[in-house]
Amino acid sequence: MNCKRVNEVLYLFFDNELEDELLAPFRAHTDHCPECARRFDYTRKLLLLVREGCHRRCAPQHLRIRILSSLPHRQSAERLH
């Protein structure tokens, strides 16, 4: 798995929609690639923030909308429950 592929499936991973056979290569890459590890960590924190629904000291509404609409696989299929 390369950086481009990791970037493509990053949000699937956090949605628990990453196929089982991709999990190991995904983990192997983020374990050894500092750039992807950083992006992984950043995305994890970002999604935590968004999913908490953050009332006070977190992303303002317009920013949350921008973040959500920038998630690649949400642009085509709206799958928020």
Interface contacts to Zn ion, rule CB under 5 A? 3, 33, 36
Q: Which is nearer to Zn ion, 29 or 74 (CB)?
A: 29
Whole-angstrom distance, CA of residue 33 vs CA of residue 10: 14
- The DSSP call for residue 53 is T
Q: Which is nearer to Zn ion, 3 or 63 (CB)?
A: 3
State the minimum distance, in angstroms, from the CB of residue 40 to Zn ion.
9
Positive/negative CA dihedral, 62, 44, 81, 57: negative
Q: Which is nearer to Zn ion, 34 or 60 (CB)?
A: 34
For residue 69, what are the CA distances in angstroms to 55, 62, 76, 78, 81?
A: 20, 11, 10, 10, 15
State the minimum distance, in angstroms, from the CB of residue 2 to Zn ion.
7
State the minimum distance, in angstroms, from the CB of residue 6 to Zn ion.
5
